Chains A and B, each alone.
Chain A
Amino acid sequence: AQSVAQPEDQVNVAEGNPLTVKCTYSVSGNPYLFWYVQYPNRGLQFLLKYITGDNLVKGSYGFEAEFNKSQTSFHLKKPSALVSDSALYFCAVRDRGSTLGRLYFGRGTQLTVWP
């Protein structure tokens, strides 16, 4: 069975500090991994994805994520947070071996960056 865990409902950081939003996953095979961001009253926007290759994936708005197979994690990171990064972040996983294409989402982590 596929599942995604985001262990923190909320993450608070000061502007300029590094941020990390955690994600762990469980899939029956090898994963494709995604991060999406949701701003208030908006749909989900794609940030980045891991397919294969380099474990460090770079995405939009200066975000990056590190795939760690042994820890089954895909944490989202940014070296220097901005107030405008405040939003709801979702991690998602898809089983690489599945032809169905469906994603399994975590419950989301609310990131607040304070000035």
Chain B
Amino acid sequence: DADVTQTPRNRITKTGKRIMLECSQTKGHDRMYWYRQDPGLGLRLIYYSFDVKDINKGEISDGYSVSRQAQAKFSLSLESAIPNQTALYFCATSDPSPTGGTDTQYFGPGTRLTVL
């Protein structure tokens, strides 16, 4: 979805390096998410944020941190990258339905990260 962009699209780094992945959205959504995708494991939630002042850990937050700089920007950092963080990383956004029902998530194109 072109409304959700991620930079970089590909990154190769070495063990111990600090890496930041960035996500920007023009959908005007309050909620943003970071997932990682590993073959055969589906998508697992790393962190999520319901607004600029609200950040929550997901199921696999160890080794990661996030920053919600603005409504439109949500960054994921690996303070000291390790090889098992090699994965495809996705950012997503959503907004609660006005009727209080479900909110559909919209995904960015992904960042392929390789840690050597």
Residue of A nearest to B105 (CB): A103
CB-based contact A43/B110 at 8 Å: yes
How many cross-chain pairs have Cβ atoms below 8 Å apart between A and B? 58
A107 contacts B by Cβ under 8 Å: yes
Of the listed residues A42, A43, A45, A107, the one surrounded by the most CB atoms of chain B closer than 10 A to its CB is A43
Q: Enumerate A8-47 residues with CB–CB distance to B below 8 Å.
A: 9, 32, 34, 36, 41-46
In the complex, chain A residues whose CB is within 8 Å of the CB of B1? 43, 45
CB-based contact A107/B108 at 8 Å: no
The main secondary structure of chain A at its interface with chain B is: loop
Q: Interface with A: B60-68, B70-78, B94-102, which one?
A: B94-102
Q: How many residues of A contact B (CB 8 A)?
A: 25
B4 contacts A by Cβ under 8 Å: yes
Task: Give the distance in Å from the alpha carbon of A4 to the alpha carbon of B4 in the complex.
Answer: 26
In the complex, chain B residues whose CB is within 8 Å of the CB of A94? 102
In the complex, chain B residues whose CB is within 8 Å of the CB of A103? 45, 105
Q: Enumerate B1-30 residues with CB–CB distance to A below 8 Å.
A: 1, 4
